[in-house]
Chains A and B, each alone.
Chain A
């Protein structure tokens, strides 16, 4: 059957005053139509015939693509308000063309495009932010109520889920938290040592690393890693559940999604964050001290300096913040998951939003804590 392909061709006859005649032969399918299509359109554009007559007597096979070819020629002529005729069609192919009629071309609908003004974008952005802030407040209330409701009845919490999340968000993150913190501590010490050595006060790099890490950098770094690893995972998990209507199922079964899915995740993150922060502090300080040791200080000097620089107050400040960072990262991750729209892209969008919002909230909360601690003299 494929051998007929050799006979497929388009012949444009000499134009007359009435128009032109195209003789089409052989198989009209996607493969054979493609070159013919171009040739026919070129001829029409060049000759602009008053009437186009297609002689299709030699067509022995036609499929959807072939029908498309013929209808496209017809539409081209009609759009230019010129004539179109087709003759010699086999009955079988004529019936097929009736079935394949593409109808009227749809009018072009105006779609939102790059023409939207910048002002409109700003307006939409602000309105979106305001709506998002309101949602965040409502969600915070709902989450707080659910967590408070669990307090008198801790057995109601799905501890199995919570432990699983603790393992994934906490234990599985030990390696990456330790590595990133160690390197960060080492880099910080190295960069600080170079200028401070000029003034002969390089030993105070230990103070920078010790206080900086325990009060600020340890909790922030750990929270950012948590946002990247766990916040996005929460958003993707809940988003997928929403897309597959599992959240609706929970609702209709009388189970509160917030209490059933979110509280265990948030509690797990809150409990694991301080542990990760302790690990992060330790790894970063070890990294910093190793650099200092390589500069020539003894371990005794370094430890002595560290003990003098960092007190429990610094450590507890960092740990106190870490509870809130855990709450924010897990909470916003879950909220973004619940806000997932439909479609495959939506889950990816939610995961991205979870990370971006998580990091923003961590830094925002940290700046608030800095002001509060300064005011209180802690």
Chain B
């Protein structure tokens, strides 16, 4: 399969107030790849993702999705860019006043000229794909946490985006539901060549879905390791990275 770079992050520096969170990061995400952003608590994983989807403005650097920099994109250009990716937030972020079906249709109404009938079929396809074929008429509050996450993926997929960002997709899910979720990601990545950018802590999930992992470090605020998770676990020069992948306590790290 030919490779095509779909996201380019160049010299990205981000800060909250005066505190630098990420310092001069550069990396590429390939089309069809499941790209994992990993790291300890508070290292800036979610911050990085929020910059990549254009919610936050960095101090400096570029985030190119295709050829467009999301940092500087405005108006029509930004709207076109937003259409190219979908996002699943950690808690689902479904609109509580709408049914699941309406949550998905909302995106289609905003971005397409399809008839209502057409939108309904597309909504059903999305819901069926994530295994929620019979939950369309339910409100988010009537769904379990796992179902809400799947509904959020269905909404993220509404416009057939090239990229889907997932923030902690497995958090709070039982092992079977989490495994189902991993399978769904793999299936979508392989069949539709969707690029997934995933922020997660779940090691079991990472081994199942990851094509590439970057590991952020809270101390240096940079990428301290990247590659396949199995390689990082077994061959990383950095002891903390090995500890992380082997779920071992790290004495030297506690001092930080």
Contact of B169 with A by CB under 8 A: no
A29 to B122, CA, bound (A): 11
List residues of chain B with CB within 8 A of the CB of A34: 112-115, 118
> Which of A29, A96, A100, A109 has the most chain B CB atoms inside 10 A of its CB?
A100
Closest A-chain residue to B133, C-beta based? A103
Could you tell me which A residues sit within 8 Å of B by CB distance? 29-31, 33-35, 37-38, 41, 63-65, 67-69, 71-72, 75, 95-96, 99-103, 105-106, 109, 342-345
Q: Is B117 an interface residue (CB 8 A)?
A: yes
CB of A100 within 8 A of CB of B118, answer: no
A273 to chain B, nearest CB (A): 35
Asked if B32 is an interface residue, CB under 8 A from chain A, the answer is no
* Pair count A-B, CB < 8 A: 87
Question: In whole angstroms, what is the CA distance A91 to B141 when docked?
Answer: 40
Chain A residues with Cβ below 8 Å from B118 are: 33-34, 37, 65, 68-69, 72
Q: Using an 8 Å CB-CB cutoff, how does the interface string of B109-126 with A read, 1 for contact, 0 for none?
A: 001111101100110111
Q: Is residue B191 contacting chain A, with contact meaning CB distance below 8 A?
A: yes
**A10 smallest CB distance to B (angstroms):** 14
Q: Cβ of B96 and Cβ of A72 under 8 Å apart?
A: no
A30 touches B108 (CB 8 A): yes
Instruction: Tell me which of B115, B117, B134 contacts A106 (CB under 8 A).
Output: B134
| CB pair A65 B97 closer than 8 Å | no
Chain A: minimal CB distance from B102 (Å):
13
Among B141, B159, B160, point to the contact of A343 (Cβ < 8 A).
B141
Do the beta carbons of A65 and B115 come within 8 Å of each other? Answer: no
User: Is there contact, CB below 8 Å, between A72 and B126?
Assistant: no
Q: Which residues of B are in contact with A by a Cβ distance under 8 Å?
A: 95-97, 108, 111-115, 117-118, 121-122, 124-126, 128-129, 133-134, 136-137, 140-141, 157-160, 187, 191-192
Q: Are A63 and B160 in contact (CB under 8 A)?
A: yes
Chain A interface, DSSP helix/strand/loop, else mixed: helix
Nearest CB to that of B118 among chain A residues?
A37
Q: Report whether A102 and B97 are in contact in the complex, using a CB–CB cutoff of 8 Å.
A: no
A109-B137, A342-B141 given; A33·B129 CB < 8 A = no
B125 near A67: Cβ-Cβ < 8 Å: yes
- Whether the pair B108, A103 counts as a contact (CB closer than 8 A) is no
Most central of A69, A71, A102, A103 by chain B CB within 10 Å: A102
Within the complex, what minimum Cβ distance (angstroms) separates B111 from chain A?
7
Beyond A30-B160, A71-B125, 14 extra complex contacts between A and B, CB < 8 Å: A30-B108, A30-B112, A30-B114, A30-B159, A34-B112, A63-B192, A67-B125, A75-B121, A96-B191, A101-B125, A102-B125, A106-B136, A343-B140, A344-B96
**In contact, B160 and A65 (Cβ under 8 angstroms):** yes
22 CB contacts below 8 A, A to B, read: A29-B160, A33-B118, A34-B114, A34-B118, A35-B113, A64-B122, A64-B126, A64-B157, A65-B114, A65-B160, A68-B118, A68-B122, A72-B118, A75-B121, A96-B192, A99-B129, A100-B125, A100-B128, A103-B133, A109-B137, A342-B96, A343-B140
Complex CA–CA separation, A112 to B113 (angstroms): 30
A199 to chain B, nearest CB (A): 58
